[in-house]
Amino acid sequence: MKFRWLGHSAVELEDRGKTVVVDPFTDEPTKPDVICLTHGHSDHVGSTMDLARKHGSKVVAIFELANYLRSKGVDATGINMGGTFKTGDIEISMVEAKHSSSITEGDDTIYAGEPCGYVVRGSRTVYHAGDTSLFSDMRLIKELYAPDLSFLPVGGFYTMDERQALMAAELLGSRVIVPIHYDTFDVIRTDLELLKENLRERLLVPERGKIYEV
């Protein structure tokens, strides 16, 4: 399995002939077969509509967010917690996250269902936590899926900070931890020193747009 970090929380996974992109808030070029959305905030939905229309990408999201996207002419499938979407030989399972989710249109705030994370299973198993705080049931994600690699938000303010992410890494047990959702805005700037000191070789701080193999 190959991956690229596309900035902020946007991640591209390539495996078994399929390209899956999570939360495409990015200007990096990508051509996804499937787009997975963790929630409805603009810094995660990003360019979903444009990408889906341009490339014919299938969008997977929580039921309410998928309904909203379908109303905009996007090919979206709504699943829910514990559900699994299959594309070729790739399985994408929706897991919980602790956050909020809404869409802003003008002066209106539209409910976009519950936030979520995803476990993507192919030649490797990858967990994308989405936007979340630390929660103890991350140990169940380890027991059920044993992710080889986990993408964890670390910037604080809106999500886990480094200290919470360090505990999340221990609950999940992944051999590789990739930090996301930091430094994009002033309030989520962090130096990663706590993670570097404690996770050592388990921590992979990616270059934006660079291809990594796991």
Q: Two tokens at 146?
A: 């044993």
d(CA 145, CA 165): 19
- Average pLDDT in the 96-117 region? 96
Residue-number span of the structural domain to which 155 is assigned: 2-213
- Average pLDDT in the 202-211 region? 98
d(CA 57, CA 75): 7
Percent of the chain residues topping a pLDDT of 90: 100
Check residue 142 and give its pLDDT.
Answer: 98
pLDDT band of 170, cuts 50, 70, 90: very high
Domains of the chain: total: 1
Cα–chain center distance at 23: 6
Please write the tens of the pLDDT for every residue from 30-48: 999 999 999 999 999 999 9
Q: Answer for the pair 191, 162: CB distance below 8 angstroms, yes or no.
A: no
User: Residue 205 class from Cβ within 10 Å (0-12 exposed, 13-18 middle, 19+ buried)?
Assistant: exposed
Average pLDDT value for the chain: 98
d(CA 9, CA 131): 8
Q: Phi, psi at residue 181, to the nearest 5°?
A: 55, 55
Check residue 201 and give its pLDDT.
Answer: 97
Q: Which three-class secondary structure state does DSSP give residue 11?
A: strand
Check residue 176 and give its pLDDT.
Answer: 98
Nearest to residue 179, comparing CAs of 121, 128, 118? 128
The DSSP secondary-structure symbol of 32 reads -
Q: What is the CATH number of the domain that holds 199?
A: 3.60.15.10
Check residue 80 and give its pLDDT.
Answer: 98
pLDDT band of 21, cuts 50, 70, 90: very high
Residue type for position 7: G
d(CA 112, CA 65): 5
Q: Answer for the pair 173, 149: CB distance below 8 angstroms, yes or no.
A: no
Residue type for position 55: H
Check residue 90 and give its pLDDT.
Answer: 98
pLDDT band of 147, cuts 50, 70, 90: very high
Check residue 174 and give its pLDDT.
Answer: 98
Neighbouring C-beta atoms of residue 104, cutoff 10 Å: 11
| Site of tokens 């309030």 | 187
